[in-house]
Chains A and B, each alone.
Chain A
Amino acid sequence: MILYALIFAIACFCAALLFNLYRVVKAPGVTDRVLALDTMAVNAIALIVLFGIYEGTAMFFEASLLYAMTGFVATVAFAKFILRGDIIE
């Protein structure tokens, strides 16, 4: 039962990543692209964790934690650049 739920969740997040990719490529404004990249990072974290359950190893936590941190820093840097034209003032 868990296996089917796992496959369903993986399919959902893969479709979500495709939607995000569409939004990155074809967006009405630059802030939408930044938002789509941020959502992509969040969905990638979920996908890494799901893959960890599928493989049955606890090896992927560090990868997802690193992904969470770099995704956050990247989004803040993008937004700050749009706002101020500079990242570290």
Chain B
Amino acid sequence: MELVWDILISALLVIGGIFGFVGSLGLVKLPDPMTRLHAPTKAASLGVGSVLIASMLWFGVKQGEVTLHELMITVFIFLTAPITAHFIAKANIFRDWPAEKLPRPSGDGEWAVHQADADTSRGELSVERDLAEQAEDDRA
């Protein structure tokens, strides 16, 4: 049984190391900014996640104390990695892609990235406020 845990933890550590390495290698090797965004935000977070799971198993098996701290860090990284990737992609569009090179967005708006006066507090989540405004319009 001990050997099974050892093999499992070692495999997770090796997989984590390889994925972390590949993620950062992609950051150096890939040809343009948008493709470079892929490598670290996917491969590196997978690598870190597997290292954190290995650490959780190691402390559970070897020290006899099950800790869930690592699970917290894993969840945090898996929640924040897409958000940072989205932000950096938006910054990329803003710097390298003029509005003429982009496809037209649906509806009668412009890309929010290229609107200097865009109200960024009004996202898709402000549905309630929209409904309230609509009700006000109906009353008027």
Q: Using a CB–CB distance below 8 Å, which chain A residues touch chain B?
A: 1-2, 4-6, 8-13, 15-17, 19-20, 22-23, 28-32, 34-36, 38-39, 42-43, 45-46, 49-50, 52-53, 56, 58, 61, 64-65, 68-69, 72, 75-76, 79-80, 82-84, 89
Could you show 10 A-B contacts with beta carbons less than 8 Å apart? A8-B17, A11-B17, A15-B24, A46-B20, A46-B51, A58-B67, A65-B73, A72-B80, A76-B84, A82-B95
Binding site secondary structure of chain A: helix
User: Which residues of chain B have C-beta atoms less than 8 A from A15's C-beta?
Assistant: 21, 24
Known: A1-B7, A20-B27, A56-B63. A31 touches B55 (CB 8 A): no
Q: Using a CB–CB distance below 8 Å, which chain B residues touch chain A?
A: 6-7, 9-11, 13-14, 16-18, 20-21, 23-25, 27-28, 33, 36-37, 40-41, 44-45, 47-48, 51-52, 54-55, 58-59, 62-63, 65, 67, 69-70, 72-73, 76-77, 80-81, 83-84, 87-88, 90-92, 94-96, 113, 120
Is the pair A19, B27 in contact by a Cβ cutoff of 8 Å?
Answer: yes
Known: A12-B18, A53-B55. A75 touches B10 (CB 8 A): no
